[in-house]
Amino acid sequence: GETFTWVFGDNPPNLEEAQSGSAAPPGGGFRALLHPQAAAVLCHELFGHPLEADSFFARQSPWTGRMGTRITSVPLHVVDDPTLPLPGGFLRDDEGEAARPKPLVTAGVLTGVLADRSYGASWAAEPGNARRASPHHPPMPRLSNLMAWVEGGEATPPLAEARVEIVRVRSGLFVPAERSLLLAVSESYTLFRGKRKQKLAPFFLKLPLDASGPRILAGGSPSVTVAEPGWCGKNHQFLPVGAAASWLLLERVEAA
């Protein structure tokens, strides 16, 4: 797996060459079809870290103040589940709380946050998500195994509806000032009538967050287990994480 770091800032990191394609991505807004690996990273960065209680209650999250409201137009489900036999699994968290699945987004509605005992006591949030890299680090709210799928979605992705097919991304960066997520795309192709036309050079995909949420047009079901992210770094603590996701179709995204 690769390392994905949750970053707040204004400047994206350098994008290393990760594929042999040389064609530039399309200009302007376009539809992009994300394969499960790429969709898993998007959900990790857009719904995982921002719903960790330290970010959420510090108002560093795009979802602060949105609890109980619809944040996606499609019936997206996002669940953090440490009980699954994936890299982020555990029986008890690092404060001794029993592992349990925690719904974060239910049919497009924001329903939960990931909390440790401290945030659970202060904000009436259910604990059970305290993790740390070693005994020398303090426990903090962290995601474990993130599952994402769209209720009623098809298993086969609608490639004919997209202009760009995104197979893999390397990392994600949320830019609060622009209310947008940047994904460092490492393998992608232009599409024509659902068939691959050109392999693209690495680029940053920009996903703006409207008042109604991210521009997710459609998604699949069920979710499938993917190898990435694998590892996740936050505040100098690197922890194993698992993921399963379905394909996602994004609209009006653009190359940054």
Each residue's pLDDT tens digit, 109-153: 999 999 999 999 988 899 999 999 999 999 999 999 999 999 999
Q: Please, are residues 173 and 181 in contact by the beta-carbon 8 Å criterion? A: yes
- Using 50, 70 and 90 to split pLDDT, how confident is the model at 20? low
Question: Using only C-alpha atoms, what is the Rg of the chain?
Answer: 17
Q: Within a 10 A sphere around the Cβ of 20, how many other Cβ atoms? A: 8
CA gap 55, 8 in Å, rounded: 10
Q: Is pLDDT at 92 greater than 80 in this prediction?
A: yes
DSSP of the chain, one letter per residue? -EEEE--BSSSPPP----SS--BPPPSS-EEEEE-HHHHHHHHIIIIIGGGBHHHHHTT-STTTT-TTSB--SS-EEEEE-TTSSSTT--SB-TTSPBP--EEEEETTEE---B--HHHHHHH------EE-SSTTS--EE---EEEEEETT--SS--GGG-SEEEEEEEEEEEEGGGTEEEEEEEEEEEEETTEEEEEBPPEEEEEEEETTEE-EEEE-SS-EEEEEEEEEEETTEEEEEEEEE--EEEEEEEE-
Express as a percent the part of the chain with pLDDT over 90.
79
59 — alpha (psi -120 to 50), left (phi > 0) or beta? left
Q: Please, are residues 231 and 3 in contact by the beta-carbon 8 Å criterion? A: yes
Per the model's pLDDT, the better-predicted residue between 150 and 231 turns out to be 150
Q: What is the pLDDT of residue 210?
A: 82
Is the pTM here over 0.95, yes or no? no
Provide mean pLDDT across the span 62-78: 96
CA gap 117, 96 in Å, rounded: 10
Provide mean pLDDT across the span 163-179: 91
Q: What is the pLDDT of residue 17?
A: 42
Least-confidence region, from 14-18, 24-28, 61-65, 95-99: 14-18
Domain limits, the chain: 2-13+26-255
Q: Is pLDDT at 15 greater than 60 in this prediction?
A: no
Each residue's pLDDT tens digit, 28-54: 999 999 999 999 999 999 999 999 999
CA gap 209, 213 in Å, rounded: 5
CA gap 6, 25 in Å, rounded: 25
